[in-house]
Structures are given as C-alpha cells and as structure tokens.
C-alpha cells in the first residue's frame, strides 16, 4: 500500500436553510480544495461524494455526477456514498484505499447536504429511516430517541445518577458551543450555560434541545494524493495513516454491548492497528457528537477515557484544548453543525486545518501532530474512523 496525503481542503459555512443547491455548495467547497492543492479540475481522476438525502431535500439523486461535471471534472468516475451520517467518512476511506492501492494518484472527496432545507418534520422522518424501518420505526423511534435510550442505559451501567449525568452532558454542550463561537464556519454560534441546557425544551427524555445537534446545510471537500504526487503539490502534506469501518444491525440486536457501540470499537481498533498509534498519541479528535451522550460513549470507545468516566473528564477540562485530548475544537456537530453527507469530510477538513495550524487562534490546538475523526451513521449501523498525521 502507498502512503496517501490530504493536499488541500475546502468547506462552505455550515448553517440553516439556504438557497444554494447541493451541487452548488459542493462546487464551492471543491474549488477551494482544488485551489489549495494547486490543481486543476482536469487533474482529478475520480470523485467520491457523501450525500444522504438529496432525493428528499431537493429531488436530486446521483448528485456526484452532476457535481463532477459542474466543476469541470468531465467524465470522471463519480461514486455516491450513503451510510447516513457517516457517509462523508466512508467516501474519504474508499478514496484513500483507491489511492493507496495505486489505481489512482489524485482524487477528490466531497460531501454535501441540505438537511436544514427539509425542515424539522421531514428531517426527523428521513433521519429515522436509518433505524430499522420494519421493526423499530413502527414504535415511532426518532434519532434523539435512539440516543435517549442509550442515555438511561449509560446511567444504569456506570451507576451515574441521572441528575449528575445530565449536568455532565450540559458541560459537553457548553464546551462545544464555546469552541463554535470562534469558528467562522459554524452553524450555531452562541454562548450557552449549564443552566441554559438544563432549562431547554425536552426533545426525547432525558435529552433536551441543547443536547441535540442542528440539521444543517453545507458541503466540504478534500483532495487526496499519493505520496509522490503530494510532495510535488504541497509542503504540508497531512497523511492518512489509519482507517477503520464497521457495521451493525438494528439497535435491539446490539443489546449485548449497549450503551457501548460494537461497530465503533471494531472500526477504531482497525485504525489504531493500521497506524501503529495508540489513544495517547492523539492530540485532537473530531468525534460524532450528534447528541451530548454520544460524545461520552465515543470518547470512551476511542480509548481516551475509562468507561463511565468521560463526563467527569469533560467537567474537568480533560476533553478541552489544553486537556488530555482536544475534542471537537471546531464546535462539533453541536455547534459547527451537521449537514450529514458532508459531516465526515468536514471533520477531515477541520483536523487538516488544525494540523497545519490554520484555524482561528482562540481554538487552535497547540503543537498538534496527530488527529482522529470519528463518524457514526444511524444507530451505529455504520461507524468510520480516520487517523491523520502531519507529514513535516
């Protein structure tokens, strides 16, 4: 396998419902990534795109082919990835493997979504399509509902009384909002207190509004190149040194592991093994905080904190910039936003910028050399992890 580097990245602002199409959003992010890579559209050999609900949000399927043509990557093979919220990371992983194998030298990976454009009722309905449609949607499961079920299981398993756990979760939200305040790309920019979180509207007990990420519109893109190609294009190649992906069936059939998610533990094991790195080597991590409790579950399975202790770690600042590992210095899905097909690509955008030392100074992780991304689709139906390392 060849070494593969990220040589350029681009991202639109993530935000509420807006009028640009999914193709237009992706085109903007892709052009920024191409320009940063010192490449022209004709240099791109293939395109890999995460897009989940284009069919529902604007009646557009096969967005990847229209996007490729739109940006001048005429007639390249273009693939769409659908793994719910993990789609973008699946696209990055597959693109990585095609370049690592030697089949391609330079590929473009993108993600685009208009989740906010759908509005809350349709977005809630379509997001629920990533639970089991026959055996779970009948009961009216929603996405917040899935993580609400896990919240009580977490409280029971680790013997953390619910009021204490709720306060820990509020600290997770406060930290994410705080980072997002300084991120120009972020969707929700506001200062929120622990009390604001505990006073917010109930969505799916015990999760409240501030425990939930928003539905966002937005796009992101990254260019991947082989080591040889990368050295000619940039002085700052960021190498993808480990990837992992795993799947699971319906939530009920994950019962032996809940509230832990088996797919994540298998995926992250693959990525650590490939990279030869361990949790203590990771300086910063963009993890899938679709809901506050998801942050705790993820941080433990990624190996950053002992099981049942990550809420306490957040309260003590151990998950913050300057702590043991800087988690979601972008604001995460909570504040930066969650345009689902673009989210995983946006995580790679963020950690690449962090490793290059190019984010807003208020949220720059100092001396960052190694970063991880973690993206969860559905109720853990797909989980994907990527480890990236500075190449200079």
Partner 1 sequence: MDYKLPFAEYNDALKKNKLLGLKCKDCGFITVPSKMVCRKCSSTNLEIVQLKGTGKIQTFTTIFVAAEARECECPYTIVMVELDEGPWIMGNLFVDPNRATMDNLIGKRVDFGVKVFPGDRYSAGNIARPQFSLAE
| Residues engaged in binding partner 1 (CB under 8 A) | 120-122, 124-125, 128-129, 132-142, 144-145, 148-153, 155-156, 162, 201-207, 249-253, 255
User: Rounded to whole angstroms, how far apart are CA atoms 325 and 368?
Assistant: 10
Q: Which is nearer to partner 1, 5 or 85 (CB)?
A: 85
Other Cβ atoms less than 10 A from the Cβ of 379: the count is 26
Q: Which is nearer to partner 1, 79 or 142 (CB)?
A: 142
Q: Which is nearer to partner 1, 140 or 366 (CB)?
A: 140
- What sign does the CA torsion over 306, 319, 272, 131 have? positive
State the pairing for strand pair 238-247/4-11: antiparallel
| Set 85, 212, 285, 290: catalytic member | 85
Cα separations (Å) of 208 from 22, 79, 203, 205? 30, 37, 5, 7
CB of 144 to partner 1, least distance (A): 7
CB of 164 to partner 1, least distance (A): 13
| DSSP bridge pairs for 280 | none
CB of 127 to partner 1, least distance (A): 8
**Residues 7 and 234: beta-carbon distance below 8 Å:** yes
| Set 182, 187, 288, 338: catalytic member | 338
Cβ contacts of residue 110 below 8 Å, gap of 6+?
Answer: 26, 29, 30, 47, 48, 49, 50, 64, 67, 91, 219, 220, 221, 222, 342, 345
State the pairing for strand pair 202-204/207-208: antiparallel
Q: Which is nearer to partner 1, 60 or 142 (CB)?
A: 142
Give the relative orientation of helices 162-180 and 292-301 as an angle to the nearest 10 degrees.
90
CB of 197 to partner 1, least distance (A): 16
Is 179 one of the catalytic residues? no
CB of 267 to partner 1, least distance (A): 21
Q: Which is nearer to partner 1, 141 or 240 (CB)?
A: 141
What is the set of active-site residues?
85, 338
């Amino acid at each position: 396998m060849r070494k593969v580097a990220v040589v350029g990245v681009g991202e639109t602002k993530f935000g509420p419902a807006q009028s640009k199409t999914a193709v237009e959003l992706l085109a903007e992010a892709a052009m920024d990534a191409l320009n940063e890579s010192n490449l022209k559209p004709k240099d791109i050999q293939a395109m890999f795109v995460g897009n989940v609900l284009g069919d529902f949000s604007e009646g557009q399927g096969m967005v990847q082919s229209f996007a490729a043509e739109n940006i001048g990557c005429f007639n390249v093979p273009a693939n769409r990835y659908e793994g719910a919220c993990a789609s973008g990371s699946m696209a990055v992983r597959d693109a990585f493997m095609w370049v690592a194998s030697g089949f391609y030298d330079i590929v473009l990976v993108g993600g685009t979504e208009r989740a906010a454009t759908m509005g809350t009722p349709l977005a809630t309905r379509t997001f629920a399509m990533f639970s089991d449609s026959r055996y779970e949607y009948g009961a009216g499961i929603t996405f917040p509902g899935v993580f609400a079920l896990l919240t009580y299981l977490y409280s029971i398993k680790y013997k953390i009384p619910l009021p204490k756990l709720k306060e820990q979760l509020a600290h997770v939200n406060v930290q994410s909002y705080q980072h997002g305040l300084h991120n120009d790309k972020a969707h929700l920019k506001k200062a929120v207190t622990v009390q604001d979180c505990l006073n917010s509207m109930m969505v799916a007990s015990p999760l409240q509004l501030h425990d939930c990420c928003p539905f966002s519109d937005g796009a992101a893109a990254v260019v991947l190149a082989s080591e040889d190609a990368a050295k000619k294009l940039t002085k700052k190649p960021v190498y993808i040194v480990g990837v992992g992906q795993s799947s699971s069936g319906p939530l009920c059939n994950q019962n032996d592991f809940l509230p832990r998610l088996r797919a994540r533990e298998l995926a992250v094991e693959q990525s650590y093994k490939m990279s030869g790195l361990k949790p203590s080597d990771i300086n910063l991590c963009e993890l899938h905080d679709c809901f506050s409790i998801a942050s705790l579950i993820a941080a433990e399975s990624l190996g950053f904190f002992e099981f049942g202790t990550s809420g306490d770690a957040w309260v003590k600042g151990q998950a913050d910039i300057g702590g043991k590992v800087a988690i979601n210095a972008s604001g995460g899905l909570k504040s930066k936003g969650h345009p689902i097909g673009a989210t995983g690509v946006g995580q790679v955008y963020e950690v690449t910028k962090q490793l290059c030392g190019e984010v807003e100074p208020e949220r720059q992780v100092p001396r960052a050399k190694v970063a991880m991304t973690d993206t969860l689709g559905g109720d853990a139906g797909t989980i994907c992890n990527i480890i990236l390392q500075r190449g200079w």
